[in-house]
Amino acid sequence: MQRLVRAARSEWFDWEDREERIKDYIDLTNKLIWQRQASFLAAALLAAFYFDPFSTIACYIGVFLSELLDQILGARAKSWDGKDPEIGRRYLRRITFNTVVSAGAISVFILNIAWQQTSGGHFTPLFFLFSASLFAAMYNSQIFTVLLLRLSIYGATFVAIAFLDVLRYRPELSSVVWLEFFTILFVLYFIADTSAKFYKNYQERLEQLKLIREENERTKAAYEIKSQFLSTVSHELRTPLTSIKASIDLVNAGVLGEVPETLKPPLAIAAKNGQRLANLIDDLLDLQKMEAGEMDFHFEAMSVNSLVKEAVEATAGYAEKLGIHVTTIIPATDVMMNGDHDRLIQVMNNLLSNALKFSDEGGSVQVRLESNGNRVRISVEDEGVGIPADARERVFGKFSQVDSSDIRKVGGTGLGLNISKQIVERHKGTIDYESEQGVGSTFFVEFDQVQQEDTGETGSDPLALSA
């Protein structure tokens, strides 16, 4: 009993909970309107056919009007922001009032049928009442006061119907009238028990939702701190690293004097690892920016042919160093798309440098640009180590290298493809690959193509031209 009182009290005084419950209640009431209306109408037609049609229709109109009250309330509550506790309490009062009116109207409708049935028990009205009670048990668990009120009104109607024939006929205890009476009591217990179970389920769901929300908040806070930390550290590392790299480059270039032969190998290693560290920091900063939504994109109409050429030229030195032959296949006419040139070059560099670094010396890489009029596809095909079939999830993940021993053979951060995927998706494009271990891989990106005449205007939104 104490628990019931506490449940009812919390609805009126525990603000946070009440908002959630009221919204859930109103949402569900509005959602189920047609289901309720259909069953009320079916019941009314049935009753009008077998019983007095005038009183039945009059009662049905009462039920219909009470439904309207709920709809008006639902429409008003839509704009409620859930903040002001006084408005919340007002809604609760309105819901409580509507409940009394609606449960009262339904009970009168059912009592009217029971009253007219003078023989053969009250199967029809009792069954209607049973359905209404079960409906309340299933869908009114959000507000305990409402559930209790509705069920109490239906319970009283059940008892009234049960007593109707007892009072009318004053039968023997062994008659079927008393049997119906006791059966009704049993059904009442069943409804109370079912309602309690539904109510408990709803409470548990609310509790779980609360826990998930709290957990989510904690995760978000931790994630933000991590991002902040990573971003600060990356920035702090980048400044001294830039001057270290510049100094080493100066020494290596011989600007500060002849470099003794013995110092050349360690200085070359220092320069190479300095570059690696700089790449890692750049990737980290890009990732942070992308995740924080702070990476700026400057979309403009551009030639994909030129983009591909530029990217291939930029990696030509690297390809030569690794002894890999790169061929480029591009159509004679310009294929245009809307994109951020620098970011797309970043994607191309990533795909190309991966193809090169995962290829064997003397291998070959083919870069192909294709267009079907609507879409443009750039693919980078290599004959390198390939990617195992079960690594698909990891390839585009963060810090993920399919074979972590790769890192010893070829450098990398495991961030490049993740960043590329995010860049491609910001262009409303797709990135994917096909690969066979030991045979090679083909990575490809696809974007919407824009037609030549569309490219006069340069928009900042990729959809502006492709739409």
| Cβ-based nearer residue to ligand ADP, 282 or 334 | 282
- CB 344 to ligand ADP: min, Å: 16
- CB 290 to ligand ADP: min, Å: 14
Does the footprint of ligand ADP cover residue 379 (CB under 6 A)?
A: no
> In Å, what is the CA distance from 355 to each residue of 1, 80, 137, 284?
72, 56, 63, 22
Residue among 416, 427, 449, 466 that touches ligand ADP (CB under 6 A)? 416
| Cβ-based nearer residue to ligand ADP, 53 or 438 | 438
Amino acid type, 224: E
Instruction: Give the whole-angstrom CA distance, residue 427 versus residue 290.
Output: 13
Instruction: Give the whole-angstrom CA distance, residue 199 versus residue 137.
Output: 8
Interface pattern 386-415 for ligand ADP (x via CB under 6 A) = xx-------x----xxxx--x-----xxxx
**Residue entry with tokens 């109490």:** 152
- CB 349 to ligand ADP: min, Å: 10
| Cβ-based nearer residue to ligand ADP, 129 or 351 | 351
Computed over its alpha carbons, how large is the radius of gyration of the chain? 37
| Cβ-based nearer residue to ligand ADP, 105 or 385 | 385
Residue 173, helix vs strand vs coil:
coil
Does the footprint of ligand ADP cover residue 354 (CB under 6 A)?
A: yes
Helix (H) or strand (E) holding 195: helix 176-252
Helix (H) or strand (E) holding 139: helix 123-139
Does the footprint of ligand ADP cover residue 422 (CB under 6 A)?
A: no
| Cβ-based nearer residue to ligand ADP, 299 or 358 | 358
Q: List binders of ligand ADP among 15-44 (CB under 6 A).
A: none
> In Å, what is the CA distance from 404 to each residue of 49, 394, 414?
78, 11, 9
- Reading the block at residue 256, the tokens are 């500060």
What is the total count of residues that contact ligand ADP (CB under 6 A)? 23
- Reading the block at residue 104, the tokens are 């009262």
- CB 287 to ligand ADP: min, Å: 11
Does the footprint of ligand ADP cover residue 63 (CB under 6 A)?
A: no
**Residue entry with tokens 């009290």:** 9
| Cβ-based nearer residue to ligand ADP, 70 or 382 | 382
| Cβ-based nearer residue to ligand ADP, 140 or 234 | 234
| Cβ-based nearer residue to ligand ADP, 114 or 347 | 347
Instruction: Give the whole-angstrom CA distance, residue 141 versus residue 369.
Output: 60
DSSP letter string, 356-418: HHTSPTT-EEEEEEEE-SSEEEEEEEE-SS---GGGHHHHTSTT--SSTTHHHHS---S-HHH
Contacts of 399 (CB under 8 A, 6+ apart): 413, 414, 415
Residue among 384, 422, 462, 465 that touches ligand ADP (CB under 6 A)? 384
Does the footprint of ligand ADP cover residue 282 (CB under 6 A)?
A: no
Contacts of 240 (CB under 8 A, 6+ apart): none
Does the footprint of ligand ADP cover residue 365 (CB under 6 A)?
A: no
Does the footprint of ligand ADP cover residue 383 (CB under 6 A)?
A: no
Q: What DSSP character marks residue 262?
A: G
| Cβ-based nearer residue to ligand ADP, 27 or 403 | 403
- CB 389 to ligand ADP: min, Å: 13
- CB 385 to ligand ADP: min, Å: 5
- Reading the block at residue 363, the tokens are 């291998």
Residues in contact with ligand ADP by CB under 6 A are 350, 354-355, 358, 382, 384-387, 395, 400-403, 406, 412-418, 441
